[in-house]
Each structure stands twice: as C-alpha cells, then as structure tokens.
Amino acid sequence: MDLGIKGKTAIVCGASKGLGRGCAEALAEAGVNLVINARTESTLIEAAEAISAKYGVSVTPVACDISTAEGQAKVLAACPTPDILVNNAGGPPPGMWSDWDRDDFIKALDANMLAPIALMKAVLPSMIEKGWGRVVNITSQSVKSPIAVLGLSNSARAGLTGYVGGTSRQVAPHGVNINNLLPGIHATDRAVSLDKGVSAAQGISMEEAAAQRMETIPARRYGTSAEFGAMCAFLCSQHAGYIVGQNILLDGGSVNSTM
C-alpha cells in the first residue's frame, strides 16, 4: 500500500532502538525524511546511518534527553515544522505505590506526559497552517488496564491521554490527526528489563519469567518493533485522516475487554 507520505518530514523521539526505532524504520520505508532522537549519541548515530543507508532517506540524529526543555529545543531547532511527530521516551521504573515521592512523579510526568505535550504545542501551529499533520504518541496498554507495579507510568500516561482526547478534536478540523498507540509487551530492551524484575521478584530464570509473561498474552508471544512501526506509519499516512483521538492497543489481545 502506498502510504502517500513520501517526501514528508518526521521527528521520531526515542528512536535509536525498540518501538521508536520500529516507527522510524517504517516511516523511512514510506519515504519520509527523519530527525531521530535518543540520549546516547553513539547508538543514535549508528541507527541514523543504518536507516538512511537502507531506505535512502535523510536521517538527522539529535542526541539529547527529550524529557528536558533543552532537549526539546534541540530537536525542534533541527526540525521546527515537521509534518509528522512521533512522541516517545523511556518508561518509568516499576515499584510499589508506597515507593514514589513527588520527584519520582515529576520525572515520569516530564518524560511521558509533559515532553509530548510541549512538542505537540510547538509543532501543531505549523501543521494547522499547512492543513496537514500527524502526531502519534507511544503510550502503553496500562492506559486501558493498569499495571500495578507501573504506577508512575499509569499516572503519567493517563494525563497525556486526557490531553490528547481534547486536543485531537480541536486540531482535527485543520487536517491534523493525533492518536495514541498503546503497546502491550514487545520484544525490546524495556521488555527484557521488566522480565528481569519478574525474575528477581520470583526467584526464577529470565526464560521462565518471559514464558510466564507470554502465557498471559492470547497471541502467546511478544510483539515486534516492526509490527508496531507498521501501525505507526499507517496512522501517519494519507489513509488515516478519519482516525482522530484514538487509543489503539497493540497487545496480542492482553487487555481483556470487548471494546
């Protein structure tokens, strides 16, 4: 399928590996020029070179922490008026409800709620002016079904979801579509670190921890970054103009709900 976005420009945050990388690759395959971001310069540059060589698009790496105002300014300086924005950053650490204090919440809010909101606020005016734009926020299945040990994530992502619910309907009349993608467990470093948590908590091996978590997924496996990226690219395509403010689960059926 021709996604109809060849030659457009996208910012993809948190894109050196994992789900963000999957989104960057799928957009590059559709002919989109990219500005990609992550904190670690070496792996980010490697990713940019690999994507550019494979798909023949321009890929500019901007190494910075997207949860900070300086990081956001650096990315926006490299691409002030993107056609497409994919918001993403690392998820907060797991724990117990009684573990977290104000600073922990501020960190989680900065990374998983306030950074995406700041970037949207910065790029939406030019998208509105052009009469076309796409924003995809990578959130989590925890928005629909809380994951008890990820209370920081549950909280921050719920806040972003509320913001998108209203804002997406304010910008839709201008041809700008904002949607959220809700990953269930995917085979990325994040999944490995959560497997580690289960392994340590229960005194079982990493393989047993992964097998136990797969057993909870009707698809009986973890998702892949490529599958995730394909859905992201579709949401950024010309065909997705009637999809507004949706929260789309990619979870192998994990969230047990009729709708």
If one asks whether residue 14 binds ligand NAP (CB under 6 A), the answer comes out as: yes
61, 94, 183, 245: residue in contact with ligand NAP (rule CB under 6 A): 183
C-alpha separations of 175 from 49, 168, 211 in Å: 32, 10, 44
If one asks whether residue 26 binds ligand NAP (CB under 6 A), the answer comes out as: no
Cβ 57 to ligand NAP shortest distance, Å:
18
Nearer to ligand NAP by Cβ, of 140 and 161: the residue is 140
Q: In 10 A of CB 238, how many CB atoms?
A: 12
Instruction: Give the binding-site size for ligand NAP (rule: CB under 6 A).
Output: 30
10, 23, 62, 66: residue in contact with ligand NAP (rule CB under 6 A): 66
Cβ 229 to ligand NAP shortest distance, Å:
10
Nearer to ligand NAP by Cβ, of 38 and 113: the residue is 38
What binding mask, one character per residue, do residues 74-113 give for ligand NAP by CB under 6 A, x or -?
Answer: --------------xxxx-------------------x--
Cβ 128 to ligand NAP shortest distance, Å:
26
If one asks whether residue 190 binds ligand NAP (CB under 6 A), the answer comes out as: yes
Which residues bind to ligand NAP, rule: CB under 6 A? Answer: 13-20, 37-40, 43, 65-67, 88-91, 111, 138, 140, 183, 185-186, 188-191
